[in-house]
A and B are shown apart, each in its own frame.
Chain A
Amino acid sequence: MIIKQLSVFIENTEGILECVTDTLCKHNINIVSLSLVDASEYSVLRMIVSDPERGREVLKEEGLLAKLTDVIAVKTPQKPGMLHDILTAFRDANLHVKYMYTYSSSENYATVIMRLSKLDTALSLIKQKGYEVCTDKEAYEIVNLN
C-alpha cells in the first residue's frame, strides 16, 4: 500500500534541522527513517515518521514548509539482484523512479522507500513479481520487518 512520507523544505541556514528534530521530539513523534538531499542553497528532508499527519501539523505550526508525499516501502529480499530485478520491471513498464532510500535492513529484507511516477502501477507490478510492500502500520511502527 501507499504510505505517507513527511517532506520538509530546509533552508541552508543554521538551526533549521534541529528545529525539525526538536519539534518532532516535543510531540513525541518518532523518526523511523530519513534522507537529507541537498541542493546548493537548500535541502529537502524526507522522513518516515510514526505519525506523519501530526508531524506535518506541528512542523507547520513552527513555520516550516512541510508536506506529505505518497511513497511505497518495498521489501527486497536479502539476496544479490533483487533490487535490480524490481528496477528492471519498473523500467520495462516505463515507470520513472524519482528517488529512493533505504528504510531498514534486517536479516531477511532490505526495505527501500521509493517515489515513482505511477505508484498504483508500481504496486501491482511488485505484487505480480511476488514481492511485498509495507503497510502504513508496519512502516510507521516498525513491525513485521523480518
Chain B
Amino acid sequence: MIWNETKECMSRDQINNLQSARLRKMVKRAYHNVTFYRKKMQQIGLEPGDINGVEDLHKLPFTTKQDLRDNYPFGLFAVPQSQIVRVHASSGTTGKATVVGYTRRDIEIWQECVARVLAMAGVGSHDIIQVAYGYGLFTGGLGLHYGAENLGATVIPMSTGNTQKLITLMQDFKVTAIACTPSYLLHIAEVLEEAGQIDNTHLKVAICGAEPWTDNMRKQIETKLNIKAYDIYGLSEVMGPGVAADCKFHKGLHVYEDHFIPEIIHPETLEPCKEGEVGELVFTPITKEALPLIRYRTRDLTSITYDECECGRTIARISRFKGRSDDMLIIRGVNVFPSQVEAALLEMGETSPHYLMIVDRINNLDVLEVQVEVEERYFSDEIKQLDSLTKKIARALHTALGLSVKVRLVEPRTIERSQGKAKRVIDRRKFD
C-alpha cells in the first residue's frame, strides 16, 4: 500500500519544485540561525539568495560527522531549546557522541516517513509489531515505535536483550511483524529453529535495518522464517530510520524526496557522480527544523536511479549499500568491504553468514583472516572434508575480494550476534 500517494508518486518536475522551495527556506533558516553555517557560507562568499533551487545545491558546503562533534552538543541546532521536544545521540567509536534534536514537527515528519515504510512493507492497522531495536538514545527503537503507532499498528516495545521473552510474546500475542537488525533476526530464527518452533509463529513480515545486509541474507531470512523482509535505512543525523526503504520489488530503497534531497558524490574529488555510478551518499534534509544539515556526508556508498519503480513510486531509489567509505578496509592496496565477504559466503551456501574479519600486519605484510562459523549440517568429522570446506571458502573469498584470505573455521555461535550493529571487523594494524 502507498501511504502518501501525493508525495510518493509526484512527477519529477513536481519533486524539483517542491525540493527547490523547501531548500531555499531551509538554507535561509540555517544561515540566519546557525552560526556554523553562516560562517561557512560567508567564507566562500555565498548568500542564501544565491540558492534558487536544487540546481544550486552543489554550490553549498558539505557537513560531516566531525562538524557535529565540533559543535557538541547543541551548536548546530537552529531553534531555541524550548522548541526541542526530543534529543537522540549516537556514541562514536572515537570522541564525543553525535547529538541530534527534533522539534514537534520534526517528530511528526519522522512518524510519517516510518509509516510510509511500514505501509510499503504491507504492514497495516491489523498488524501486531514487535519493535526489537534498542530503545533509548539510539533512534531505532523510538523511531520505529512512533512510526508504527502513527500507522495504527499494535506496537510491542520489545527493545533488545531478551530473545527468549521476545519469542514467547511473539507466539502468545500472535505477532505478525517485527522490526530489528537483520543479524538479530537471523539469531531469533536460529533460536526458534533449535526449539523446533520455527513454523510456530504468525510472523509474516520483517523490517530490518541499522546495519548493511545483502540480498542473499534477505532471502535467507525469508526462507527460514517463511516471511517477507524489507530493508529500512536512515541515520540519526538526517532523521533516523525511515529516510529510505525498499518496496516488494527490492530494486533499491525509495528515498522520501519531499523531505531529503539525495546526492551521490565521489568520496575523494567530491564531484557529483552520474546516475547509476557508485559513490558516497549525501543528504540534505529540507524540512528539518531543529537540525537543518546542509549536504551531510553519510559515508555510505551506493548509487542512485530516478526511474519510476514497478510499484508506481516515482521517488528516487538508492541501491543496496556497497559498504561505507569509512568501513572500507585497504588491505595490501585492495579495497575490501565486509559486505563482499558476506555476499560470497551466502552465495557459497555451505556456511553460516556469520563471519569476523581480522586484519593484522605481520612482518610488514597485511594479513586478512576470516573466521567462519561451521554450520551443523556441514560439519563432518573427517579432517579431509573440513579442510576442503576451508579451502573452498578461501577460494570463494579470494575470487570475491581479489585477495588471498586465511580462513578459520570456528564453532557455531562463537561470533558475537548483535542486537545493535554487528561487529564484523577487527583491524589490529597500527598506522602510526
Give the distance in Å from the alpha carbon of A9 to the alpha carbon of B410 in the complex: 9
Give the distance in Å from the alpha carbon of A16 to the alpha carbon of B379 in the complex: 17
- The residues of A that contact B384 with a CB separation of less than 8 Å are 98
Give the distance in Å from the alpha carbon of A44 to the alpha carbon of B385 in the complex: 12
Known A9-B374, A39-B386, A39-B387; contact A67-B411, beta-carbon cutoff 8 A: no
For B410, the closest partner residue in chain A by CB is A11
Say how far B212's CB is from chain A's closest CB, in angstroms: 27
Q: Do the beta carbons of B383 and A65 come within 8 Å of each other?
A: no
Known A42-B386, A44-B386, A65-B376; contact A11-B381, beta-carbon cutoff 8 A: no
Q: Identify which of B376, B379, B408, B412 contacts A41 (C-beta below 8 A).
A: B408
Q: Do the beta carbons of B376 and A99 come within 8 Å of each other?
A: no
Give the distance in Å from the alpha carbon of A86 to the alpha carbon of B382 in the complex: 22
For B385, the closest partner residue in chain A by CB is A98
The total number of A-B Cβ pairs within 8 Å is: 45
Say how far A113's CB is from chain B's closest CB, in angstroms: 12
Q: Do the beta carbons of B408 and A7 come within 8 Å of each other?
A: no
- The residues of A that contact B376 with a CB separation of less than 8 Å are 65, 67
Q: Do the beta carbons of A42 and B409 come within 8 Å of each other?
A: yes
Q: Do the beta carbons of B381 and A41 come within 8 Å of each other?
A: no
Q: Do the beta carbons of B413 and A63 come within 8 Å of each other?
A: yes
Is the C-beta of B414 less than 8 angstroms from some C-beta in chain A? yes
Q: Identify which of A16, A44, A63, A64 contacts B381 (C-beta below 8 A).
A: A44
For A6, the closest partner residue in chain B by CB is B381
Q: For window 258-300 of chain B, which residues contact chain A by CB distance below 8 Å?
A: none
Q: Report which B residues bind A (CB closer than 8 A).
A: 374, 376, 379, 381-384, 386-387, 408-414
Give the distance in Å from the alpha carbon of A42 to the alpha carbon of B413 in the complex: 16
Is the C-beta of A75 less than 8 angstroms from some C-beta in chain B? no
Say how far A3's CB is from chain B's closest CB, in angstroms: 14
For A71, the closest partner residue in chain B by CB is B381
- The residues of B that contact A44 with a CB separation of less than 8 Å are 381-383, 386
Say how far A43's CB is from chain B's closest CB, in angstroms: 9
Q: How many residues of A contact B (CB 8 A)?
A: 19
Q: Do the beta carbons of A9 and B379 come within 8 Å of each other?
A: yes
Known A9-B374, A39-B387; contact A65-B412, beta-carbon cutoff 8 A: yes
- The residues of B that contact A41 with a CB separation of less than 8 Å are 408-409
Is the C-beta of A37 less than 8 angstroms from some C-beta in chain B? yes
Q: Identify which of B381, B409, B413 contacts A69 (C-beta below 8 A).
A: B381
Give the distance in Å from the alpha carbon of A46 to the alpha carbon of B382 in the complex: 10
Say how far B347's CB is from chain A's closest CB, in angstroms: 23
Q: Hey, what's the 0/1 contact readout for A15-33 against B, CB within 8 Å counting as 1?
A: 0100000000000000000
Q: Identify which of B382, B386, B387, B413 contacts A99 (C-beta below 8 A).
A: B382
Interface centre among A5, A11, A64 (most CB of B within 10 A): A11
Give the distance in Å from the alpha carbon of A39 to the alpha carbon of B374 in the complex: 15
Q: Do the beta carbons of B379 and A37 come within 8 Å of each other?
A: no
Give the distance in Å from the alpha carbon of A44 to the alpha carbon of B387 in the complex: 12
Give the distance in Å from the alpha carbon of A5 to the alpha carbon of B380 in the complex: 12
Give the distance in Å from the alpha carbon of A128 to the alpha carbon of B118 in the complex: 69
Q: Do the beta carbons of A11 and B414 come within 8 Å of each other?
A: yes
Q: Do the beta carbons of B381 and A46 come within 8 Å of each other?
A: yes
Interface centre among B409, B411, B413 (most CB of A within 10 A): B411
Give the distance in Å from the alpha carbon of A39 to the alpha carbon of B386 in the complex: 9
Say how far B397's CB is from chain A's closest CB, in angstroms: 16
Say how far B309's CB is from chain A's closest CB, in angstroms: 44
Q: Do the beta carbons of B383 and A37 come within 8 Å of each other?
A: yes
Give the distance in Å from the alpha carbon of A67 to the alpha carbon of B409 in the complex: 16
Known A39-B387, A41-B408, A44-B386; contact A67-B414, beta-carbon cutoff 8 A: no
Say how far B362's CB is from chain A's closest CB, in angstroms: 16
Q: Identify which of A5, A9, A69, A115 contacts B411 (C-beta below 8 A).
A: A9
Q: Do the beta carbons of A98 and B411 come within 8 Å of each other?
A: no
Give the distance in Å from the alpha carbon of A97 to the alpha carbon of B387 in the complex: 18
Q: Identify which of B379, B409, B412 contacts A63 (C-beta below 8 A).
A: B412
Q: Hey, what's the 0/1 contact readout for A89-124 against B, CB within 8 Å counting as 1?
A: 000000000110000000000000001000000000
Give the distance in Å from the alpha carbon of A65 to the alpha carbon of B414 in the complex: 11
Give the distance in Å from the alpha carbon of A46 to the alpha carbon of B386 in the complex: 14
Q: Do the beta carbons of B383 and A11 come within 8 Å of each other?
A: no
Give the distance in Å from the alpha carbon of A85 to the alpha carbon of B384 in the complex: 26
- The residues of A that contact B381 with a CB separation of less than 8 Å are 5, 7, 44, 46, 67, 69, 115
Q: Do the beta carbons of A63 and B411 come within 8 Å of each other?
A: yes
Give the distance in Å from the alpha carbon of A64 to the alpha carbon of B124 in the complex: 41
User: Beyond A11-B411, A42-B409: 9 further Cβ-contacts under 8 Å?
Assistant: A11-B409, A37-B383, A39-B386, A39-B387, A42-B408, A44-B386, A65-B376, A67-B379, A98-B382
For B369, the closest partner residue in chain A by CB is A41
Q: Identify which of A16, A46, A65, A98 contacts B374 (C-beta below 8 A).
A: A65
- The residues of A that contact B374 with a CB separation of less than 8 Å are 9, 65
- The residues of B that contact A9 with a CB separation of less than 8 Å are 374, 379, 386, 409, 411
Give the distance in Å from the alpha carbon of A98 to the alpha carbon of B381 in the complex: 10
- The residues of B that contact A42 with a CB separation of less than 8 Å are 386, 408-410
For B377, the closest partner residue in chain A by CB is A67
